[in-house]
Amino acid sequence: MIWGAMSSAGVGPLCFVKSREIMEHFMLPSADELYGNADFNFQHSLAPPHTAKSTKTWFHDHGITVLDWPANSSDLNPIENLWIIAKRKMRDMRLNNAPELKAAIEASWFSIIPQECHRWIISMQRRIEAVIDAKGAQTKY
């Protein structure tokens, strides 16, 4: 598994997940880098580890507001578009081992420019309207 962060200012670091320390060692530093002292809302994919009681407690204890949004709503999660972009950049690569794969993932992720991130963030109003219009069904996003 890979954890990544993004904001309208660009992408944050990637973490190739090995432990639950990801929030402490990657999410918080990424938030500091991307937002400084500004307030932000955290959005996650609602995977079971993200919704566990211990994770909810961790967010509460650190004063982090978690965006309340419906499960399985990739339409409303702009980072999913960045993963698609990163995967597309790797489509024709022939990789021989795990280190080559990791390097290719990092190279494709960090080639995503801040303007691309900003574009997906500002699309949220249109995404929300599209989901409402589709009565919760899948949209073009």
Residue 62: give its domain's CATH number.
Answer: 3.30.420.10
In a domain, residue 70? The reply is yes
In a domain, residue 138? The reply is no
Residue 72, pLDDT score: 61
Whether pTM exceeds 0.75? no
Alpha carbon distance 32, 80 (integer Å): 22
Structurally, the chain folds into a number of domains equal to 1
Q: Looking at residues 3-8, what average pLDDT do you find? A: 88
The secondary structure of 42-97, three-state, reads ECCCCCHHHHCHHHHHHHHHCCCEECCCCCCCHHHCCHHHHHHHHHHHHCCCCCCC
In a domain, residue 48? The reply is yes
In a domain, residue 93? The reply is yes
Q: Please give the residue range of the domain that contains residue 52.
A: 2-133
Residue 136 has pLDDT above 80, yes or no: no
In a domain, residue 139? The reply is no
In a domain, residue 141? The reply is no
Residue 116, pLDDT score: 92
In a domain, residue 30? The reply is yes
Q: How many CB atoms lie within 10 A of CB 94?
A: 6
Average pLDDT value for the chain: 86
Q: Looking at residues 39-51, what average pLDDT do you find? A: 80
What spatial distance separates the first Cα and last Cα of the chain, rounded to whole Å? 23
